[in-house]
Structure 1
Amino acid sequence: MSAIQTTVVLAMTADGKISAVDPQAPRDSDAADQEHVEYQVSLADLILVGAGTIRAEGVSFTIRNPELLAAREVRGQSPQPITCIVSGSLNLSPNLPFLSQDIKRWIFTTQTGLERNSDATTLQKLAELIDLGDTDLDWDRAYSLIAERGIYKVVVLGGGSLTAALVKAGKIDDWWLTIWPVIYGGKNAPSPVEGEGFLPNAAPHLQLVETRQVGSELFLHYRTLK
């Protein structure tokens, strides 16, 4: 296990969807899940979020609970984790509400993304743009940089393409999956891990280490077997 601990924190329906077919469709907020996510995020030095997720949600998740904020201060952490948006294409608008939040912002991108986005210069004023390769993101380079910056705890909040890339790169140590008691259906609805998929003999395996039930919701904690 690396010195950097990387935890995926995702919620999905009982049929394995992280959003409806239309990712813009609102869903009812759930207090237990929000508290769970806030606690997990409060442990992080860095949050990784896919560009599609930030475009859909508009803003990064932030900690508001005074006790969690106080605990971060005791641990010597900043009030809010750094939020890093992952976008190889740099398909991001400078008008995103995220880019005006009072938090430290990074964007992982590629040289191609920097060259193609006419707003790259404006984005550089709003976030730290970090080039991680010509056309594809180099996750080994990303994690070397993360380590150099003194970051020990990374929390990944989706979406499925980002999670798939990190699984493929072997960077995920553990998972917190919330199971909502609802069925979304839809063959094109997003799932927790997208990408090209894995053949059975190469699929990552997990070990269940903790379960918790709140009403009809399940919170499952898995460790990646390496």
Structure 2
Amino acid sequence: MKSIQTTVVLAMTADGKISPVDPRAPRGSYPVDLAHLEYQVSLADLVLVGAGTIRTEGTAFTICNPELLAARKVRGQSPQPIICVVSGSLDLPPDLPFLSQDIERWIFTTGTGLERSSDATTLHKLAELIDLGDTNLDWDRAYTLIAERGIHNVVALGGGSLTAALAKAGRIDDWWLTIWPVIYGGQHAPTPVEGEGFLPSAAPHLQLIETRQVGSEVFLHYRTLK
């Protein structure tokens, strides 16, 4: 059976922030990075997105480029990848625009989230709710399910808590990091990898395999050293 490839695609400022202190504040426009993001998403069978990101953005990122859509058809993929929101608490409002997009939707959650959410019944009608553990998400169980569904290419789009969880679980194969030419600052502005952090002895180590510069934007491609 073909192994599952997981790629994290993130963009951050030159000082390592993925959004301003107020995540609702408008960010600058970076068309080259947007095209890069669309290409990476176009390769995915499944896209993982953290609940905080989807609550902030409102909708899931989808592919619009006709050439990328045509390439997916040639590869035998659906027009859009499955979008899976990761929310252990199932704290997702049913009127979220994401839940009415014309895409296949999954939500990875927990038994506790299903029990405590007053919207679980409604959300069950709008997406496939997948229980991955009593109180914590079990990523081994998640990846067993992903394999059983015949999914080979997973792209994770953050935020920082999701990226940290995948890194801790040892599931990230490749990292694409875009460096935006701007400084956000802010002690509490989110960074690409949140969570509890890693001791140096346990930190994931990366091999740089590609760099690309377009104008003042820099694109870095790393592979996780196993």
Q: TM-score, normalised by structure 1?
A: 0.99
Instruction: Give the match for residue 207 of structure 1.
Output: 207
Runs of 4 or more above 3 Å deviation: none
Instruction: Give the match for residue 126 of structure 2.
Output: 126
- After the TM superposition, which residues 106-185 of structure 1 pair with which residues of structure 2 at under 5 Å, given as runs? 106-185=106-185
Task: Provide structure 1 residue ranges, at least 5 long, that are not aligned to the other structure.
Answer: none
- After the TM superposition, which residues 25-174 of structure 1 pair with which residues of structure 2 at under 5 Å, given as runs? 25-174=25-174
Q: Tell me the amino acid that sits aligned with residue 110 of structure 1.
A: T
Give per-residue Cα distances to partners, 1:57-87, cap 9 Å, x unaligned: 0000000000000000000000000000000
Q: Tell me the amino acid that sits aligned with residue 191 of structure 2.
A: S
- In structure 2, what is the Cα distance between the partners aligned to 1:153 and 1:39? 13
- In structure 2, what is the Cα distance between the partners aligned to 1:203 and 1:109? 26
Identity of aligned residues (%): 83
Give per-residue Cα distances to partners, 1:140-187, cap 9 Å, x unaligned: 000000000000000000000000000000000000000001110111
Q: Tell me the amino acid that sits aligned with residue 199 of structure 1.
A: L
- In structure 1, what is the Cα distance between the partners aligned to 2:135 and 2:203? 26
Q: CA deviation at 1:204?
A: 0.7
- SS of equivalent residue, structure 1 residue 200: coil
Q: CA deviation at 1:112?
A: 0.3
- In structure 1, what is the Cα distance between the partners aligned to 2:84 and 2:201? 32
Instruction: Give the match for residue 191 of structure 1.
Output: 191
Task: Provide structure 2 residue ranges, at least 5 long, that are not aligned to the other structure.
Answer: none
Q: TM-score, normalised by structure 2?
A: 0.99
